[in-house]
């Protein structure tokens, strides 16, 4: 189970006794118990055999491209990055996430890999995501140009309904993997969307899902619910006093994608009806040299989440500048030692300034803890939305931009 520690939030505990808090808490727990949220229903009725069978097929390739954007990509990318390396693609097969529509970058990648040894997984819940469909056609065109069949190497994840992507799958006779209808993209990390790429790199998806389920059981206890959700309540209460930003700052490069995943989850869920709290992702120690000055000495309008990793035994450095002189701060100390000390220093300075803060320390080799943490983020997002009286599961404002994009494309076509 994930461990959470909070600082400077004690004064908000009395708010947990209010009628509104107790009512929303009960409604949330009832919805969880009745599996009214699609991601919980999918999690508790998981069929791992489908994922295993697809993983076996994908392991016949040297390269696997995951095409998708937003929730169709960020969850899986987060789990893969916990296993992999940021400096080189160390997974087998090599995995690449194609999230954007920058032609030059995609084209450069395709020039460097052996297309005959490449598979593609294309994900869009609606089957109408224009960016993902465009990615598909770009890669399909290149495969055709090189006289490479896409059948048996292209896999489609979308809803079982009539859509552009479903028609492509049927007409081209491609592998079909149903996207759970009741699971939205940003809530899909525990579905086949997130679990498939994770399983491909030997991330323990069963332990990951068990950690999530364990968390759901744990918060049935009043004390655990109140402890874990105190930061969410505190953030909503602080928002009434102009705290409008929530900073998430992991101290581990392999958790950088987690902050991007959380940013979408929170922003797309809570930013409605002129309400919301802006998520900001940072990375320790890098952003101690770019953002921390503002955090500590700027406006007091931020809430802080720091995620640290369990200490490891690192190589102790020999720091001789010359025979007679050593670099004392790091001599006989490890890089991990430095990382831990810098994180502690950041936490202490935030505490000393009486800034609202919570801390997680997780074992990156424990997939159960990661599952618990990501499920906590799901539940706190929904809870925060309910406290603000906004609906967590839609994103109506972005629909206008999608319509305008198609209008502009038509105008460009006529020119």
pLDDT digits (tens, 9 = 90+) for 221-241: 999 999 999 999 999 999 999
Three-class DSSP category at 231? helix
Answer whether residue 408 is part of any domain. Answer: no
Same domain for 56 and 17: no
Same domain for 372 and 240: yes
Answer whether residue 141 is part of any domain. Answer: yes
Q: Over the stretch 274-322, which tens digit does the pLDDT of each residue have?
A: 999 999 999 999 999 999 999 999 999 999 999 999 988 889 999 999 9
Answer whether residue 103 is part of any domain. Answer: yes
Answer whether residue 362 is part of any domain. Answer: yes
Instruction: Give the residue from 269, 290, 281 showing the smallest Cα distance to 380.
Output: 269
Backbone torsions φ then ψ of 6, nearest 5 degrees: -120, 155
Answer whether residue 406 is part of any domain. Answer: no
Same domain for 93 and 12: no
Q: Which of 151, 181, 203 is the last residue of a domain?
A: 203
Same domain for 59 and 91: yes
Average pLDDT rounded to a whole number, residues 111-132: 96
The structural domain count of the chain equals 2
Same domain for 224 and 315: yes
pLDDT band at 174 (very low <50, low <70, confident <90, very high): very high
Same domain for 96 and 220: no
Q: Which residues contact 164 (CB under 8 A, 6 or more apart)?
A: 127, 128, 133
Q: What share of the chain is helix, strand, coil (3-state, %, to 5)?
A: 55, 15, 35
Same domain for 185 and 79: yes
Beta bridge partners of residue 121, listed in sequence order: 66, 155
Answer whether residue 118 is part of any domain. Answer: yes
**Sign of the Cα pseudo-torsion (267, 268, 271, 276, in order):** negative
Answer whether residue 393 is part of any domain. Answer: no
Answer whether residue 70 is part of any domain. Answer: yes
Whether residue 40 has pLDDT greater than 70? yes
The position carrying tokens 């009628």 is: 19
Q: Can you give the residue range of the structural domain that contains 252?
A: 3-33+210-388
pLDDT band at 11 (very low <50, low <70, confident <90, very high): very high
pLDDT at 399: 83
Same domain for 198 and 323: no
Q: What is the dihedral of CA 320, 324, 330, 334, to 10 degrees?
A: 50
pLDDT at 88: 77
Same domain for 48 and 27: no
Cα separation, 191 vs 185, in Å, equals 10
Same domain for 188 and 217: no
pLDDT at 89: 79
144: CATH: 3.40.50.10490
């Amino acid at each position: 189970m994930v461990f959470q520690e909070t600082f400077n939030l004690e004064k908000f505990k009395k708010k947990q006794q209010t009628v509104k808090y107790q009512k929303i808490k009960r409604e949330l727990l009832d919805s969880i118990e009745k599996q009214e949220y699609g991601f919980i229903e999918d999690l508790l009725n998981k069929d791992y055999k489908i994922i295993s069978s697809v993983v076996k097929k994908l392991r016949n390739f040297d390269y696997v491209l995951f095409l998708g954007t937003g929730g169709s990509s960020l969850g899986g990318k987060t789990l893969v990055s916990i296993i992999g390396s940021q400096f080189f693609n160390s997974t087998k097969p090599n995995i690449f996430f194609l999230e954007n529509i920058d032609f030059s970058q995609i084209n450069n990648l395709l020039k460097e890999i052996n297309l005959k040894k490449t598979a593609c997984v294309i994900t869009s819940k609606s089957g109408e995501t224009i960016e993902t469909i465009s990615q598909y056609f770009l890669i399909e065109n290149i495969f055709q140009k090189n006289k490479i069949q896409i059948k048996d190497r292209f896999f489609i994840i979308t809803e079982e309904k009539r859509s552009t992507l479903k028609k492509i799958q049927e007409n081209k006779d491609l592998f079909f993997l149903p996207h759970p209808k009741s699971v939205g993209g940003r809530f899909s990390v525990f579905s086949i969307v997130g679990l498939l790429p994770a399983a491909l790199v030997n991330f323990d998806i069963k332990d990951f899902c068990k950690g999530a389920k364990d968390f759901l059981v744990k918060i049935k206890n009043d004390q655990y619910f109140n402890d874990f959700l105190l930061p969410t309540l505190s953030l909503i209460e602080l928002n009434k006093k102009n705290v409008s930003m929530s900073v998430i700052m992991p101290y581990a490069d392999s958790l950088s994608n987690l902050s991007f995943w959380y940013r979408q989850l929170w922003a797309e869920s809570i930013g409605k009806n002129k309400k919301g709290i802006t998520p900001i992702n940072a990375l320790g120690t890098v952003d101690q040299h770019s953002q921390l000055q503002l955090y500590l000495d700027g406006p007091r309008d931020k809430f802080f989440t720091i995620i640290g990793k369990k200490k490891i035994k690192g190589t102790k450095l020999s720091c001789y500048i010359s025979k007679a002189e050593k670099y004392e701060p790091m001599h006989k100390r490890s890089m991990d030692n430095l990382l831990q000390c810098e994180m502690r220093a950041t936490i202490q300075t935030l505490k000393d300034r009486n800034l609202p803060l919570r801390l997680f320390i997780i074992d990156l080799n424990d997939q159960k803890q990661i599952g618990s943490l990501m499920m906590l983020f799901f539940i706190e997002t929904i809870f925060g939305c309910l406290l603000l009286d906004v609906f967590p599961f839609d994103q109506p404002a972005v629909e206008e931009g999608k319509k305008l994009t198609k209008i502009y494309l038509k105008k460009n076509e006529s020119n």
